[in-house]
Structure 1
Amino acid sequence: MRFLNRAAVIAGACLALCQQSGAAFAETAPVPDISACDPGAPCATPLPVKVVIVSLFEIGKDEGDTAGEFQLWKERRGLTMRIPFPQGFHDLYYNPDTQVLGMVTGIGTARSTAATMALGLDPRFDVSKAYWLVAGIAGIDPEDASIGSVAWARYVVDGDLAHEIDAREIPADWKFGYFPRQTKGPNDMSGKPNPSGGEMFQINPTLEKWAYDLTKNIELPDSEGIAAERAKFVDYPPAQEPPFVLEGEQLSALTFWHGKLMTDWANSWVRYWTSGKGDFVTSAMEDTGVLTSLTYLSNIDRADRDRVLVMRAGSNYTMPPPGVDAATYLLRENEGYAGLEAAVENLYTVGSAVVDELLDHWDKYEDSTP
């Protein structure tokens, strides 16, 4: 009997040790080797991805020069594993330890749509449970915020699908020459918005609110350069504030528009498409493309549309300060955005708070969104 008891104790100890070893192995399991898998071709051992950082452009090199949207993520997040991605604009970078993947889609809706779809369909990656963080610079409405501020989008609205008449030919009572396809002009708000047409996407409201609440009290750095620029907007108190985190809608349009009248149009456009629930805050180009692809990928369980977040930081204002004409200000901004450095830095700071929370508590967020 003593031998049986001793054997049982040894067996139990062995079982416990084996279970502990199994757990440790699971935590430190080697990253699958995908080097033998051709881009887009079948791959028996796909890389697991927890977070996809979606950058839209980089200025020059990926490291060591003036930072665009991708550089800080690559340098500070240890995205050192380069993965060829010929079916997209830019090679991908991966951190095997954190399972964070970084992509650069390229500027414009066409490129962002193609790159996102290509990634989602590439058998080398398992992004079925990944969270997608779109993090880019933007024009920002001085009626809502200042350059350097970071806005979490509740809605992303397309600004390209429309009817248009040249401003020199519009009827006298039309405020804009650009109007939704299902209406009879910019004064006709009777046409009901149809989100299924691709003109409007709502971000998972629970996830967006979680991200905003997690980051809304982050103190963003100020600088003399952006302080001097925002001081010019004397009639716009939000534009004169130091950078802060807020909620506000993103308008995606391929044309880099600018000016007070265009900003009025953007506010009207977003109000229409969100049925008055949204407030235009940032202007950019690519986000409806990303969301279009993720919506379709979600339909075949290659991605989860409810795990997408969009944040944009103001690198420039969408209109000039009082006393400056739109053309002069736009051309000057094209020589270098006043808030570029602050915007990319603050995107990383705010976005990292969300990424860290997801990674630190993956056991909690892997199977259910916040």
Structure 2
Amino acid sequence: MKYTTALLTALLASPLAAMAQDVTAPKILVITMFDGETRPWLDNLDLSKTVAIAGLPESAPALSCNDDLCVMTTTMGFGNAASSVAAVALSDKVDLSGSYILIAGIAGVDPELGTLGSAHWARQVLDGGLMHYIDAREIPQDWASGWLKLGTSQPGQDGGWTAGTEVFALNADLAERAFQLTRDVELADSERAREYRAAYSQTAAQGDPFVSLCDTVSADTYWHGKIAAEMIENHVAQLSAGKAEYCTSQMEDNATLTALSRAATAGRVDLDRIAVLRTASNFDRQHDGQTAAESLGANSGGFGPATENAFRVGNTFAQAVIANWDDWKDGVPAK
């Protein structure tokens, strides 16, 4: 069939052609969870292009992009994270099939493995909320906790059943490469954070912020305190057969990864291109001489450094990928 100039012009002007022309395919998609995490990306990068996506929350209805990188805000919690990420990953306005996806946000941290402002790349992401729970006032006297693995009837029991979203093992090569690229990033700190961390006895907690590899736990419930933290450590050990090293806690990542895994099944996302970075805004438990309630409500000075360092570390990784795209476009390059 021969096309006249007029027909070709009409076709190119059609809504379908316009949609095809407007597809955004970033090299990096950064996923943040609330405005405090998003703000450093917007303040430090030129992300003047906006891509509105149906299904995003009213408070964050669009991606902010340049030619290489986009940032989105899910808003907090499992429901918001899964809904927002699914909307973007399945949208016809976005092509993420060749993109690297960086989840970059703040977290609580185990003082044995991190400190205020420290940055931690995840190797595994584990759900700390999918459990049975019996109030501590009603458990048998010989039970240490009322938190039980799904499908079991007493603490520490193996077996049971799962929802299938409790454990995500990320691309180990990507996590290691991200760590190597960012381990020497100069990290922000604050005077209040230095004062507050001095009350902790753990070596990691007392030190300056640093970058590491470990594992992160997600839960809609913002739990806190030594007893809850130890319960989570035991749960992580059970879920991972002792292979995961819990260090950070947050409220979205298993939900985000569930949405991304569904998108991967649809051919829209490559799960081997997902990295998770969490920076410590608070300790997950109290220091000696402090109650859990006092710790939960304390001004630790960690929020500012954590939001800034999520950008500094995350952007260092992102810019390395962008600058060397020929090496990264087909997958994580060898060292």
TM-score normalized by the length of structure 2: 0.90
- The alignment partner of 2:55 has SS state of coil
1:93 aligns with 2:63: yes
- The alignment partner of 1:257 has SS state of coil
User: Which residue of the partner structure matches residue 331 of structure 2?
Assistant: 368
Residue 43 of structure 1 and its aligned partner are, at CA, apart by: 2.4
Contact 1:138 1:314 in 2 (8 A): yes
Question: What RMSD, in angstroms, separates the aligned Cα atoms of the two structures?
Answer: 2.0
The verdict on how the C-alpha distance between 1:57 and 1:172 changes in structure 2, with shifts beyond 3 A counting, is same
Please point out which of 355, 361, 364 is paired with 2:318: 355
- Separation in 2, partners of 1:193, 1:137: 30
- Separation in 2, partners of 1:80, 1:221: 26
Please point out which of 78, 92, 106 is paired with 2:46: 78
Contact 1:136 1:347 in 2 (8 A): yes
Contact 1:133 1:309 in 2 (8 A): yes
AA at the equivalent of 1:113: A
Contact 1:74 1:93 in 2 (8 A): no
Please point out which of 153, 157, 170 is paired with 1:203: 170
- Separation in 1, partners of 2:142, 2:117: 37
1:50-99 deviation per Cα after TM superposition (whole angstroms, max 9, x unaligned): 111100011xxxxxxxxx100011121211112223411212233333x2
User: Which residue of the partner structure matches residue 6 of structure 1?
Assistant: none
Greater RCO, 1 or 2 (C-alpha within 8 Å, sep 6+) = 2
Contact 2:56 2:62 in 1 (8 A): no
User: Which residue of the partner structure matches residue 266 of structure 1?
Assistant: 232
1:44 aligns with 2:7: no
1:56 aligns with 2:56: no
- Separation in 2, partners of 1:142, 1:228: 15
User: Which residue of the partner structure matches residue 304 of structure 2?
Assistant: 341
- Separation in 1, partners of 2:331, 2:168: 21
Contact 2:53 2:63 in 1 (8 A): no
Residue 341 of structure 1 and its aligned partner are, at CA, apart by: 0.5
The verdict on how the C-alpha distance between 1:122 and 1:86 changes in structure 2, with shifts beyond 3 A counting, is closer
- The aligned length equals 317
1:291 aligns with 2:291: no
The verdict on how the C-alpha distance between 1:366 and 1:118 changes in structure 2, with shifts beyond 3 A counting, is same
- Separation in 1, partners of 2:288, 2:281: 19
User: Which residue of the partner structure matches residue 127 of structure 1?
Assistant: 96
Contact 1:88 1:115 in 2 (8 A): yes
1:276-287 to structure 2, matched below 5 A, reads 276-287=242-253
- Separation in 1, partners of 2:291, 2:43: 39
The verdict on how the C-alpha distance between 1:238 and 1:193 changes in structure 2, with shifts beyond 3 A counting, is farther
Contact 1:152 1:248 in 2 (8 A): yes
Largest Rg, 1 or 2: 1
- Separation in 1, partners of 2:160, 2:322: 41
- Separation in 2, partners of 1:274, 1:321: 28
- Separation in 2, partners of 1:271, 1:187: 10
Contact 2:50 2:65 in 1 (8 A): no
Contact 1:54 1:104 in 2 (8 A): yes
- Separation in 2, partners of 1:317, 1:245: 16
Residue 242 of structure 1 and its aligned partner are, at CA, apart by: 0.5
5+ long unaligned stretches in structure 2: 1-11
User: Which residue of the partner structure matches residue 4 of structure 2?
Assistant: none
5+ long unaligned stretches in structure 1: 1-32, 59-67
Residue 184 of structure 1 and its aligned partner are, at CA, apart by: 2.7
- Separation in 2, partners of 1:225, 1:238: 17
Residue 187 of structure 1 and its aligned partner are, at CA, apart by: 2.7
Contact 2:104 2:278 in 1 (8 A): yes
AA at the equivalent of 1:91: P
Contact 1:193 1:275 in 2 (8 A): no
User: Which residue of the partner structure matches residue 325 of structure 1?
Assistant: 291
- Separation in 1, partners of 2:180, 2:152: 37
1:243-281 deviation per Cα after TM superposition (whole angstroms, max 9, x unaligned): 000112111001111101011011111111111111111
1:257 aligns with 2:223: yes
Contact 2:174 2:275 in 1 (8 A): yes
AA at the equivalent of 2:20: A
Contact 2:191 2:301 in 1 (8 A): no
User: Which residue of the partner structure matches residue 178 of structure 1?
Assistant: 147
The verdict on how the C-alpha distance between 1:356 and 1:82 changes in structure 2, with shifts beyond 3 A counting, is same
Q: Percent identity?
A: 34
- Separation in 1, partners of 2:189, 2:116: 10
- Separation in 1, partners of 2:49, 2:79: 26
AA at the equivalent of 1:330: L
